[in-house]
Amino acid sequence: MAKKIPHMDKQTVVVKFAGDSGDGMQLIGTLFSNAAALAGNDLSTFPDYPAEIRAPHNTVAGVSGFQVHVGSTRIRTSGDLCDVLVAMNPASLKANLKWAKKGATVIVDADTFTEEALSKANYASNPLADGSLSSYNLVPAPITNLSRKALENDGLDNKTIDKTRNMFALGMIYYIFDRSMETTCHFFETKFAKKPQMIAINKKVLEAGHHYAEAAEIVESTINIGSAPMEKGRYRNITGNVATAWGLLAAAEKSGRPLFLGSYPITPATDILIEITKRRDLGAKAFQAEDEIAGICSTIGASFAGSLACTSTSGPGLSLMSEALGLAVITELPIVVVDVQRGGPSTGLPTKSEQSDLYQALFGRNGEAPLIVIASSTPANCFQYAYEAAKLAMEHMTPCILLSDGSIGNGSQLFRIPKMADMPAINPPIVPANDPDFKPYLRNPETLVRGWALPGTEGLRHRIGGLEKEDIYGNVSTDPMNHATMTRLRREKVEKIADCIPEQKVDGDADADLLVVSWGGTEGAVNTAVKALQAEGKSIAHAHFNYIMPLPKNTAKVLEGHKKIVVCELNEGQFVNYLRGKFDHLSMKQYNKIQGLPFTVSELTECFEKLLAE
Amino acid sequence: MKIAIEKSAEKLTKQDFASDQMVKWCPGCGSHSILAAMESVFPEIGYKKENYVNVSGIGCSSRFPYYVNTYGFHGIHGRANAIAAGVKLSNPGLSVWISTGDGDSLAIGGNHFIHIVRRNMDVNIVLFNNQIYGLTKGQYSPTSPMGAITKTSPMGTIEHPFNPGELVIGSQGTFFARVPDNNVKLMTQVMMQAARHDGCSVIEVLDNCVIFNDKAHAAITGKDVRDDHQLILEHGKPMLFGKEKNKGIRLNNTRLEVVELGKDGITEKDILVHDAFSQDPGIHLMLAKMHLPEFPVAMGVIRSTPAMTFNQLLENQIEKAQKESSIKCMDDLLNSGDTWEI
């Protein structure tokens, strides 16, 4: 029995699990997150996986990672650098050591550091032996051999046993954080309900890892992370993509319009299609179309027929949808297009995140084709903004593009479960049967919204389509002045939505020296950096935008009155140029990153400090 | 629950579907007769007039929805089938009709066409095949015969054309019919059978473009030749044709051949009897591919075989999931799985 070692309290810790894709890193990352959440921590996760399903074994290209940031304070990002790194082979150490803090605990499966694996990972010498890791708490654990030993009497072949290596590593991590393994054992019992042997062997290896860590005293003290100050309520862990799917489902239930999703699988948006496909029990109709064009066109058809009709995609898919988006604009039908952005152009970086589809969302159509553009900004608020996208689209009879991204789509966060009774009402302008005043393009004089007349309804037969329509009556029209009128009406209708969205909030003083502006999935990192500087007494404020087209009505007021404005985004400056076009009396600086990676808090802090000092 | 389209309580007439819009097809265009046939078949099918939806893409064919008084949607080029799939999936209680052309469905929209057929989506596709791009004024299409001289093929096309029937059957199609544009009676009968067919029905209309491809089908549809150059199929009837009904189709080993009654001891017993409902597409494919001068061109319903529709299978899955799942509403879903109170 090893001696009891001391506990150390920590506010936040970042753990990264890395291995060959197929080593089960996403799984143990998720299991660790769930255990942390149940222990009352706040958390944020980020999976980092290659585009290839099984890239060559033991190569850097095949490394799959999962990072989780847990804390006893509110957690807004998945963390810059990790405190604990688990590397299941040399390649994953090679790929991830640069993301570990100096002094971090680095757990490796020492059995995998063979000459062949070292050379595949491009190591000239063995880092476990050459002293290059002396500034870390290196834990070279014989994970493979000890897993095999733990199961030596179970009559299994090594291939099967080696699939449980990840659980050995997880057991070690549970020891470091003094965490109960109960939730993980419960997971085995559910997952392998029909294979009792699998429950037993996974538990055995998990416990073996835990015992090993304790016996080998792999850390000087175990780490204790207390409960985070969370708002009271019921919680669950949720990824942005699942939250997006659920937000759409919630809007369908609230509005009474059945949900239709016409989508084509594409990384990193596919989980939305998968999640809605699971919900046949709620009557949702998910349709896996033959391509993105069919995805959006079936969505338009379903909207014409009266569904809350949505499609989910990523940048290249949105490109294919451009022409049909114009059709939705001119037919003034509500559709929601979710774009989970990834690195571009073209196929680009399919599994990496970026914010470079903003121009495409705003302007990527022929003709004058305005529509709503909003952006979710955290995994959890994907629920709220998907709901909002559906509400705005239906109530204003217009397409709405919801911009998410790979980071928040695949990242997870704790989500305070709302009650459906508390969600805002959704009132689509459905035309009653036999309405004597019905005209296809007759508008509500205040909102300029036309009615939604559903096929099957008595007394409302009408024709719409992609040819320019005569104002009010909807007949085909090539009249020059009518085209000018209809173009203006379509624009004003979207602009008037500014009356229905919240004012832009600012975190900090209205006259702070530096106003930091951001939008979409960067909120956590940018706000964490701003808050840290505010705590040091710096004159800095933050305006994070979720509503992009139209902008909140007070946007000019928010942007005015600062010595400096800096707009931070993961592209080459698309939002800043959009703002410059609208507020050309203001001078705006920009801070951009285009590496397929999220902002780190430290690089943002450095940037803001420099701007404040200049 | 079996999908059903609500019937009209009152008897409808052609007038119930007459549109107030000016029909802007060229005088003499074959499409006029398609409109006439549809206006007369809709009241006969008997659904409530609000339950018909006409969907189209782009091209001369695709102006169709404006000319008939139903719910209508004029889409974008090539996408009629995808839009219509969305309409039918959203509300299976609608009778969905697609007007499309050889450019719209076989070139730019080829992908959506083969997939709507493969899925057996319960819609009716009327394919106006004039073997030319009319609205863009005379470029060759995927059905223009090899060597056709058009504005974009001044030396003749160097492409092998699609035979729409072969494409439909190759895409696992459950219903394919062919009609000439000058036989409104046959067209009406075929549309009626298409409406009754559970699944994706494709009707190819040999449509004459008077301006850019006049008489393209004349060798088949011309009054003087049609009896000898068309085989009008009827389920359960022998495949006889000719003015005197003295010619027929016989299966000789694995191939079809034209034979004459009374010649070489041929009697009606030797003639193939049309089985439109056969699952096996072998004979249907041979019939669809028959062409002049060796064979007459097959008209009428070539294939109409029962198969579950995508729409019915989807509704069945929803019904099953709703019966078996413990998740009945959003609150159930939000609170499912691992959750905890803070």
Chain B residues with CB under 8 Å of A257 CB are: none
| DSSP one-letter code for A477 | -
Q: Taking a contact as any Cβ pair under 8 Å apart, which residues of chain A between 449 and 468 contact chain B?
A: 454-467
| Best mutation target, A461, A468, A470, A478, to test chain B (most B CBs within 10 A) | A461
- Nearest by CB to residue B330, choosing from A231, A420, A465, is A420
Do residues A291 and A259 lie in contact, with contact meaning Cβ atoms separated by under 8 Å?
no
CA distance B291 to A457: 45
Nearest to B134, CA basis, from B34, B29, B28, B38: B29
Spell out a b/e string for A292-324, using b for 16 or more CB atoms within 10 Å of the CB, else e: bbbbbbbbbbbbbbbbbbbbbbbbbbbbbbebb
- Pair (A257, A374) in one structural domain: yes
DSSP per residue, A444-469? -TTT-PBPB--TT-TT---EEESS-B
- Nearest by CB to residue B93, choosing from A232, A304, A456, is A456
Chain B, nearest residue to A41 by Cα: B342
**How many domains, in total, are found in chain A?**
3
Chain B residues with CB under 8 Å of A307 CB are: 90-91
Q: Is A79 left (phi over 0), alpha (psi -120 to 50) or beta?
A: left
CB contact under 8 A, A463 and B111: no
Do residues B129 and B204 lie in contact, with contact meaning Cβ atoms separated by under 8 Å?
yes
Q: What is the dihedral of CA B27, B208, A301, B201, to 10 degrees?
A: 140
Q: What is residue A63's predicted lDDT score, i.e. its pLDDT? A: 93
Last residue of a domain, one of A422, A447, A465: A422
Q: What is residue A50's predicted lDDT score, i.e. its pLDDT? A: 75
- Pair (A308, A349) in one structural domain: yes
Q: Is residue A115 in a domain?
A: yes
B95-101 vs B52-56, strand pairing mode: parallel
Q: At what angle do helices B31-45 and B184-196 cross, to 10 degrees?
A: 50
**pLDDT, average across residues A413-429:** 97
Dig out the tokens for A236 from the structure: 């669950």
Distances (CA, A) of B146 to B47, B132, B159, B162: 42, 12, 6, 10
Chain A residues with CB under 8 Å of B112 CB are: 290, 293-294, 297
Query: In the predicted model, is pLDDT for residue A52 greater than 80?
Result: no
- Pair (A326, A251) in one structural domain: yes
Q: What is the pLDDT confidence band of residue A4, given thresholds at 50, 70 and 90? A: low
Q: How far is B173 from chain A (nearest CA, A)?
A: 17
CB contact under 8 A, A260 and B90: yes
Q: Which residues pair with A310 in a beta bridge?
A: A261, A336
CB contact under 8 A, A305 and B53: yes
Distances (CA, A) of B91 to A281, A307, A347, A454, B96: 17, 8, 35, 10, 10
Write down the pTM of the prediction.
Answer: 0.95
Dig out the tokens for A461 from the structure: 């037969």
- Pair (A99, A220) in one structural domain: yes
Do residues A320 and A292 lie in contact, with contact meaning Cβ atoms separated by under 8 Å?
yes
Chain B, nearest residue to A468 by Cα: B74
Q: Taking a contact as any Cβ pair under 8 Å apart, which residues of chain B between 29 and 48 contact chain A?
A: 48
CB contact under 8 A, B330 and A458: no
- Pair (A546, A607) in one structural domain: yes
Q: How far is A297 from chain B (nearest CA, A)?
A: 5
Chain A residues with CB under 8 Å of B98 CB are: none
Secondary structure (3-state) at A259: strand
Do residues B51 and B95 lie in contact, with contact meaning Cβ atoms separated by under 8 Å?
yes
Do residues B101 and B62 lie in contact, with contact meaning Cβ atoms separated by under 8 Å?
yes
Q: What is the pLDDT confidence band of residue B28, given thresholds at 50, 70 and 90? A: very high
B119 touches chain A (CB under 8 A): no
B338 touches chain A (CB under 8 A): yes
Chain B residues with CB under 8 Å of A187 CB are: none
- With tokens 């998410």, the residue in question is A404
Q: What is the pLDDT confidence band of residue B49, given thresholds at 50, 70 and 90? A: very high
- Pair (A189, A305) in one structural domain: no
- Pair (A62, A103) in one structural domain: yes
Q: What is the torsional sign of CA B4, B6, B8, B12?
A: negative
Q: What is the torsional sign of CA A571, A573, A575, A578?
A: negative
Nearest to A37, CA basis, from A178, A165, A183, A224: A183
| Best mutation target, B90, B100, B330, to test chain A (most A CBs within 10 A) | B90
Q: What is the pLDDT of residues B219-231, one digit of tens each?
A: 999 999 999 999 9
Q: Is residue A447 in a domain?
A: no
- Pair (A104, A182) in one structural domain: yes
Q: What is the pLDDT of residues A431-482, one digit of tens each?
A: 999 999 999 999 999 999 999 999 999 999 999 999 999 999 999 999 999 9
**pLDDT, average across residues A173-202:** 93
B18 touches chain A (CB under 8 A): no
Dig out the tokens for B272 from the structure: 């193939």
CA atoms within 13 A on the CB side of A502: 9
DSSP per residue, A47-61? EE--SSSSPSTTSGG
Nearest to B202, CA basis, from B101, B132, B342: B101
Q: What is residue A3's predicted lDDT score, i.e. its pLDDT? A: 55
Distances (CA, A) of B58 to A56, A318, B80, B104, B327: 48, 22, 8, 6, 43
Q: How far is A143 from chain B (nearest CA, A)?
A: 30
**Burial environment of residue B294 by CB neighbours within 10 A (0 to 12, 13 to 18, 19 or more):** exposed
Q: In what order do the strands lie in the sheet with B240-241?
A: B240-241, B247-252, B255-260
| Best mutation target, A255, A281, A468, to test chain B (most B CBs within 10 A) | A281
CB contact under 8 A, B330 and A253: yes
Q: What is the pLDDT of residues B285-329, one digit of tens each?
A: 999 999 999 999 999 999 999 999 999 999 999 999 999 999 999
Q: Taking a contact as any Cβ pair under 8 Å apart, which residues of chain A between 230 and 249 contact chain B?
A: 230-237, 246, 249
CA atoms within 13 A on the CB side of A489: 27
> How many Cβ atoms are within 10 Å of A231's Cβ, its own excluded?
8
Task: Output the 3-class SS for chain B.
Answer: CCCCCCECCCCCCHHHHECCCCCCCCCCCCHHHHHHHHHHHHHHHCECHHHEEEEECCCCHHHHHHHECCEEEECCCCCHHHHHHHHHHHCCCCEEEEEEEHHHHHHHCHHHHHHHHHCCCCCEEEEEECCEECCCCCEECCCCCCCCCECCECCCCCCCCCCHHHHHHHCCCCEEEEEECCCHHHHHHHHHHHHHCCCCEEEEEECCECCCECCCCHHHHCCCCHHHHEEECCCCCECEECCCCCEEEEEECCEEEEEECCCCCCCHHHCCECCCCCCCCHHHHHHHHCCCCCCCEEEEEEEECCCCCHHHHHHHHHHHHHHHCCCCCHHHHHCCCCCEEC
A8 touches chain B (CB under 8 A): no
Q: Is residue A483 in a domain?
A: no
| Best mutation target, A38, A184, A297, A439, to test chain B (most B CBs within 10 A) | A297
A387 touches chain B (CB under 8 A): no
Chain A residues with CB under 8 Å of B93 CB are: 456
| Best mutation target, B21, B54, B83, to test chain A (most A CBs within 10 A) | B83
- Which amino acid, residue A332? E
Chain B residues with CB under 8 Å of A467 CB are: 74
The contacts of residue A525 (CB under 8 Å, 6+ apart) are A76, A77, A598, A599, A600, A601, A604
Chain A, nearest residue to B67 by Cα: A463
Q: What is residue A49's predicted lDDT score, i.e. its pLDDT? A: 77
Last residue of a domain, one of A403, A422, A441: A422
- Pair (A215, A240) in one structural domain: no
Q: What is the pLDDT of residues A69-79, one digit of tens each?
A: 999 999 999 99
CA distance A405 to A269: 9
Query: In the predicted model, is pLDDT for residue A2 greater than 70?
Result: no
Maximal C-alpha separation, chain B: 93
CB contact under 8 A, B86 and A462: no
- Pair (A286, A208) in one structural domain: no
**Domain at A324, CATH number:** 3.40.50.970
Q: How far is B287 from chain A (nearest CA, A)?
A: 29
- Pair (A63, A181) in one structural domain: yes
Q: Is residue A192 in a domain?
A: yes
Chain A residues with CB under 8 Å of B53 CB are: 305, 455
CA distance B128 to B30: 9
B14-216+308-320 — its CATH code?
3.40.50.970
Distances (CA, A) of B308 to A233, A428, B11, B197: 47, 34, 30, 11
| DSSP one-letter code for A418 | P
The contacts of residue A241 (CB under 8 Å, 6+ apart) are A268, A269, A271, A272, A275, A340, A382, A404, A409, A410
Do residues B132 and B216 lie in contact, with contact meaning Cβ atoms separated by under 8 Å?
yes
ipTM: 0.98
> How many Cβ atoms are within 10 Å of B147's Cβ, its own excluded?
12
- Pair (A412, A531) in one structural domain: no
Q: Please name the helix (run of DSSP H) or strand (run of DSSP E) that holds residue A611, with its range, or none.
A: helix A601-613
**Domain at A44, CATH number:** 3.40.920.10
CB contact under 8 A, A455 and B342: no
* Lowest mean pLDDT, pick from A169-173, A436-440, B20-24: B20-24
B313 touches chain A (CB under 8 A): no
Range of the domain at A325: 236-422
Chain B residues with CB under 8 Å of A235 CB are: 339-342
Q: How many CB pairs under 8 A join A and B?
A: 204
Last residue of a domain, one of A224, A249, A275: A224
- Which amino acid, residue A532? A
Query: In the predicted model, is pLDDT for residue B111 greater than 70?
Result: yes
Query: In the predicted model, is pLDDT for residue A1 greater than 50?
Result: no
Alpha helices in A2-114 (DSSP H): 25-38, 90-96
Chain B residues with CB under 8 Å of A462 CB are: 71-72
* Residue A112 backbone phi and psi in degrees, to 5: -90, -5
**Burial environment of residue A494 by CB neighbours within 10 A (0 to 12, 13 to 18, 19 or more):** buried
Secondary structure (3-state) at A333: coil
CA distance B317 to A338: 26
- With tokens 């079809």, the residue in question is B256
Chain A, nearest residue to B18 by Cα: A461
CA distance A352 to A349: 5
CA distance A365 to A14: 42
Nearest to A582, CA basis, from A514, A481, A504: A504
A551 touches chain B (CB under 8 A): no
CA distance A545 to A563: 20
